[in-house]
With several copies, the nearest count.
Chain A
């Protein structure tokens, strides 16, 4: 499962694209849990959104390797 990382998420993971192999990740919520477990620094970030196929996703949305998934830290355009 590939996860695009932007902004502070890219700094924390040190990569633009995380490549996760963990079959326990079924929903967006699982992905969040995985990130918090594997990168403690996310505890110091305001809560991130997750986008699935370029749309903001709810925690209970199921995700698969076929989806385009991105971590969206608090936005700051303009």
Chain B
């Protein structure tokens, strides 16, 4: 694993500090972090919690690809992408993306690019639990 990239898929609580500490370095001036948390409402329904399932080996590969793209497209110095699996409660962190760059503009661009791409291509699935039932998000036409 390249030491410019830190990828984690874990059933344990995610740590912003761990992501931040990985990406910070003497040559960077800007760090952008995105944290996706679990909301208590979606489409006007009360959400009790979520459950994430991952095709772990492939998801790690896809997340590495995204991080590499951040380096190539946005000259990112370091990139951390961490994703939860299993049951995730309201306000808990589902995903953290951290990017350090020399200048701040690219930190924002890379971080947003990474979360957009993650949602498109990384094989992770989310089941949303409501008061009366559950369903796999995005699965229905």
Q: Do chains A and B touch in the complex (CB under 8 A)?
A: yes
Q: Which residues of A contact B (CB under 8 A)?
A: 4, 6-8, 10-11, 44-46, 51, 54-56, 70, 72-78
Q: Which residues of B contact A (CB under 8 A)?
A: 36, 52-55, 57-59, 61, 83, 94-95, 115, 118-127, 136-141
12 additional contacts, CB 8 Å, given A73-B136, A76-B138? A7-B53, A7-B125, A7-B136, A46-B138, A46-B140, A46-B141, A55-B58, A75-B123, A77-B59, A77-B95, A78-B36, A78-B115
Central interface residue in B61, B120, B138, by most chain A CB within 10 Å: B138
CB pair A75 B53 closer than 8 Å: no
Q: For B118, what are the chain A residues with a Cβ–Cβ distance below 8 Å?
A: 77-78
Q: For B53, what are the chain A residues with a Cβ–Cβ distance below 8 Å?
A: 6-7, 10
CB pair B138 A54 closer than 8 Å: no
Known: A77-B118, A77-B126. A72 touches B138 (CB 8 A): no
Kindly provide the distance from the CB of B51 to the nearest chain A CB, expressed in whole angstroms.
10
Complex Cα distance, B95 from A1, in Å, reads 34
Q: Pick the residue among A45, A51, A54, A72 that contacts B140 (CB under 8 A).
A: A45
Q: For B126, what are the chain A residues with a Cβ–Cβ distance below 8 Å?
A: 76-77
Q: For A74, what are the chain B residues with a Cβ–Cβ distance below 8 Å?
A: 138-139
Q: For B121, what are the chain A residues with a Cβ–Cβ distance below 8 Å?
A: 56, 75
Q: For A4, what are the chain B residues with a Cβ–Cβ distance below 8 Å?
A: 55
